[in-house]
Chain A
Amino acid sequence: MNQFKYISPKTKDEVLEILKEENIRACLVAGCTNVLPNIRDKKIVSKVLVNISDIEELKGISKEQDKICIGPLTTIAELINSEVILKEGKGLHQAAEQFADPIVRNSATVGGNLVDASPAADMAVPLLALDAILKIESVERKRDVRLKDFFIGPEKTILQEDEMITGIEFESSNINKNGYFIKLGLRKAMAIAVASIAVNLEVRENKIARIRIAMGSVAPTPIRLTVIEEFLKNNEVNDGLIEEAINKVHEEVDPISDIRASEEYRRYVSGILFKRAFEKLTL
């Protein structure tokens, strides 16, 4: 029989204790926008639902010296309303503006979008391009993990049963201020990305000093395109370079065919998205 229990802790430390105690039985719930459809479909059964949505210490956006810190329970609507995110991580702000619809944005959280680990995750792509670091805690230990190393497969992450994300950080830097995000969906509202891209770029004396490229829905997880980043680095920006880079994008992505698009289309459109994002940042 499908049995659920419910706990509503008030502090982060209480949550960590519950995770240690209940381990695999625990299911953290905050915005619920992904958890509830899974409960309905009986993909999640007989869990202890741990409601973390009222834990204030895990919410909010702050700037500390050269770092931007986002609480994992920050909602997508709060990202949109944040001057700090608009200035320091423009790609992330653009992704938030294209996320689902305004109602869902009031509930859905940044941390929830990451642990859900969809290959299409709208928050993961710009945060990968910002080279975000995740603060991960359990009762026993704390560790910092680069978002790049967090996803290991569709809906799979390195997060252990007793661990939770307690912070998301990225640097305040020139490259992070210069970002662009594009989501290609079948329609505007509520669409899951057919493909998405975030690029962060720093150009010095017409040469690419630093570049980070991340894509969604073109591989088993949201990915960084590190081969092409290396190829572009220290090169002068010109049309020939972009054409060569597009071919390399086609090689580096690893998409599948599904209900939304074919593998061939995703591979082709990945190059187009790269060109559009790159040109937005250089023109």
Chain B
Amino acid sequence: MKKVEIEFTINDKKRKLSVKPNDLLINIIRNDLYLTGSKYGCGIGECGTCTVLLNSEPVLSCLTLAITVDGKEITTIEGLDRGDELHPLQKAFLKNGAVQCGFCTPGMILTATALLKENPNPTEDEIREYMRGNLCRCTGYNQIITAIKSCENKLKTS
């Protein structure tokens, strides 16, 4: 199959890659760029573990063709920290025991950054509503909600 060259920015770095027309963004991120924080879960848009930010909006990278991100900006979980300092949401997840097996955590945190950007001070119901597509098979939802709630009004500088 003929490959096509694309160029995009991922975690503030410019990258050039040759991709097949039907390559999934999640596979390119994990297998070609070795950014294995984003997880391949269900592959059909049911679980949210593959969430990445595309031009600052959360999208499912298992439902995105890699070829369509040409010229766009992507942020994965690896792009959230500032040097040695973790992102406030990452700290909050650690502090509140919101990480069990950790498989859903990257998707949870990226979705939560988008929520807090839209709504810096969400109620518990609003958090549950916004996070409803991100599944945690360890069922540690309460700790996740608490962690996100503890970050209200903290993300203005990031």
Give A contacts to B, CB under 8 Å: 2-6, 8, 29, 31-33, 36-37, 39-40, 49, 51, 53, 100-104, 106-107, 188-190
Contacts and interface: CB of A to CB of B under 8 A. Distances in A.
Interface stretch (B42-50, B82-90, B149-157): B42-50
A100 B134 CA distance: 11
B58 interface: yes
Given A8-B67, A51-B68, A189-B132, 17 more contacts: A3-B1, A4-B1, A4-B21, A5-B21, A8-B70, A31-B63, A32-B64, A36-B63, A49-B67, A53-B68, A101-B133, A103-B133, A104-B133, A106-B58, A107-B59, A188-B132, A190-B46
A6 B21 contact: yes
A72 B132 CA distance: 26
A53 B69 CA distance: 11
B14 interface: no
A106 B57 contact: yes
A189 B64 contact: no
25 contacts: A4-B20, A5-B21, A6-B4, A32-B64, A33-B60, A33-B63, A36-B63, A37-B45, A49-B21, A49-B22, A53-B68, A102-B58, A102-B114, A102-B133, A103-B59, A103-B111, A103-B134, A104-B45, A104-B60, A106-B59, A107-B60, A107-B63, A188-B132, A190-B45, A190-B132
Contacts of B70: 8
Interface in B71-110: none
Contacts of A8: 67-68, 70
B20 to A, nearest CB: 7
B65 interface: yes
Contacts of B21: 4-6, 49
B51 interface: yes
A22 to B, nearest CB: 13
Q: Kindly name the residue among B65, B70, B114 whose own CB sees the greatest number of chain A CB atoms within 10 A.
A: B65
B65 A5 contact: no
Given A6-B67, A107-B63, A36 B132 contact: no
Contact of A107 (B20, B22, B64): B64
Nearest to A102: B130
B21 to A, nearest CB: 4
Contacts of B10: none
Contact of A51 (B58, B60, B65, B115): B65
A116 B100 CA distance: 38
B28 interface: no
Interface string B2-36: 10100000000000000011101000000000000
B62 interface: yes
B22 to A, nearest CB: 4
Contacts of A3: 1
A39 B22 contact: yes
B51 to A, nearest CB: 6
A190 B64 contact: no
B53 to A, nearest CB: 10
Contacts of B68: 8, 29, 32, 51, 53
Given A29-B65, A33-B45, A39-B22, A103 B58 contact: yes
Nearest to B57: A106
A5 B2 contact: yes
A39 B45 CA distance: 13
Q: Kindly name the residue among A3, A100, A103 whose own CB sees the greatest number of chain B CB atoms within 10 A.
A: A103
Nearest to A187: B132
B146 to A, nearest CB: 20
Q: Kindly name the residue among B22, B48, B58, B132 whose own CB sees the greatest number of chain A CB atoms within 10 A.
A: B22
B114 to A, nearest CB: 8
Interface string B109-121: 0010011000000
